[in-house]
Amino acid sequence: EEYGKLLSGSDIAEKIQTSLCDQVQKFKLHHSCFTPQLAIVQVGARKDSNTYIRMKMKAAEKIGIIATHFCLPSTTNQTELLKTISHLNLNPSVHGIIVQMPLDSANMIDSTLITDSVIPNKDVDGLNTINQGKLAVGDLASGFLPCTPNGCMELIRRTGILIEGSKAVVVGRSKIVGTPTAELLKWHNATVTICHSKTKNLPEVIADADILVVGIGQPNMVKGDWIKPGAVVIDCGINSLPDTKRSTGYRLVGDVDFEKARKRASWITPVPGGVGPMTVTMLMKNTVFAALKSTLGNKV
Ligand code: NDP
């Protein structure tokens, strides 16, 4: 068996984006008014959020999705934010709505309330309670799948590994990454172990994994020699470390010690260029799907 093959999210994302673009163009031939539209709502101006939004806007443009960025000042309160979302919910030309998290507001805003205020059929982030509930009980078709987990699944599928019956370990149990990724693996018939900050003997648990997905936000925490030889390793972490050799002054690393892990994994995602571009692409896929659904009803 060959070890250390690079699972390039950038390359796969590029291919999926090209095919989404084709799909939009073809659909336009028969429905000339068809233009998928995504609303991106931001409160404040966090630098990392600005970067993520820029990447989303760029991908949307490439595919033929109109992405509109609603920049609300950091003085925005909860009522005002809910009002903005409610307008977008009611606007029939808007097919997808995302609220960029974390909110950068001077006021107390309940972020779960905000995520849940997006109407489920426009919740292209797949993060509201209705869509998360569907996923938890195995309905993977009628709602929207969350973007990072769906991107991870797509990466795993491309390796050709048999997911059914495999042992999968997910490290991290957040609402955005760990929990929905574990649900997806579970419904693809892997046997899933979920780890978190209270897990004992993490290295031993990880050593059993045929498929390892890590999303913890701890730079290089998962060591190379914990990994089962031949495992597929998906690293969701995006951590910036100071680096004086770079003009930016920092570099991005994942949650897995990439160089050492690479020697044991069959396939491994790099950071950057792994899960990140897949997340953006799955958001675009959900938006195109939302637009198709609103045009065709439930015939999609
Ligand atoms: P959270 O901080 O919300 O969750 C982190 C999870 O990891 C928690 O469940 C926590 O456990 C667990 N954890 C933390 N430290 C350890 C440890 N030492 N051992 C075991 N488990 C631990 O983070 P997110 O899920 O939002 O993000 C995780 C990472 O993924 C970050 O680096 C983030 O930047 C990145 N990310 C990347 C995206 C992409 O598009 N590629 C999208 C979203 C996030 P507990 O529950 O016990 O606290």
Strand, coil or helix: what is 254?
coil
Q: Which of 56, 177, 198 to mutate to test the pocket of ligand 1 (most atoms within 8 A of CB)?
A: 177
Amino acid at 94: V
Q: For domain 147-276, is the CATH number 3.40.50.720?
A: yes
CATH T-level assignment (fold) for domain 31-119? Rossmann fold (3.40.50)
pLDDT band at 298 (very low <50, low <70, confident <90, very high): low
pLDDT at site 300: 66
pLDDT reading at 297 higher than 90: no
pLDDT reading at 2 higher than 90: no
Query: In Å, what is the CA distance from 130 to each residue of 120, 134, 150, 292?
Result: 7, 6, 17, 20
Shortest-distance atom of ligand 1 to CA 177: 25
Q: What is the mean pLDDT of the chain?
A: 97
Integer Cα distance of 123 and 145 in angstroms: 9
The answer to whether domain 31-119 and domain 147-276 are alike in fold is yes
Tens of pLDDT, residue by residue over 84-141, are 999 999 999 999 999 999 999 999 999 999 999 999 999 999 999 999 999 999 999 9
Domain extent listing, the chain:
31-119, 147-276
pLDDT at site 241: 96
Among 42, 104, 122, 125, the one annotated catalytic: 125
Integer Cα distance of 122 and 119 in angstroms: 6
CA of 140 to the centre of ligand 1 (A): 23
pLDDT band at 147 (very low <50, low <70, confident <90, very high): very high
Residue having the nearest C-alpha atom to atom 34 of ligand 1 = 238
pLDDT at site 74: 98
Opening angle at CA 24, ends 147 and 92, nearest 5 = 75
- Which one, of 170, 117, 176, 103, lies nearest residue 145 by Cα? 176
Tens of pLDDT, residue by residue over 177-205, are 999 999 999 999 999 999 999 999 999 99
Q: Which helix (H) or strand (E) holds 15?
A: helix 9-30
Query: Starting from the edge strand earliest in sequence, which strands make up the sheet with 96-99, in order?
Result: 66-72, 37-43, 96-99
Integer Cα distance of 210 and 193 in angstroms: 11
Burial of 141 (0-12, 13-18, 19+ CB in 10 A): exposed
Integer Cα distance of 70 and 220 in angstroms: 35
CA of 295 to the centre of ligand 1 (A): 37
Burial of 258 (0-12, 13-18, 19+ CB in 10 A): buried
CA of 289 to the centre of ligand 1 (A): 28
Opening angle at CA 193, ends 190 and 196, nearest 5 = 145
pLDDT at site 239: 97
CB 233 within 8 A of CB 267: yes
Tens of pLDDT, residue by residue over 173-182, are 999 999 999 9
Tens of pLDDT, residue by residue over 71-96, are 999 999 999 999 999 999 999 999 99
pLDDT at site 1: 62
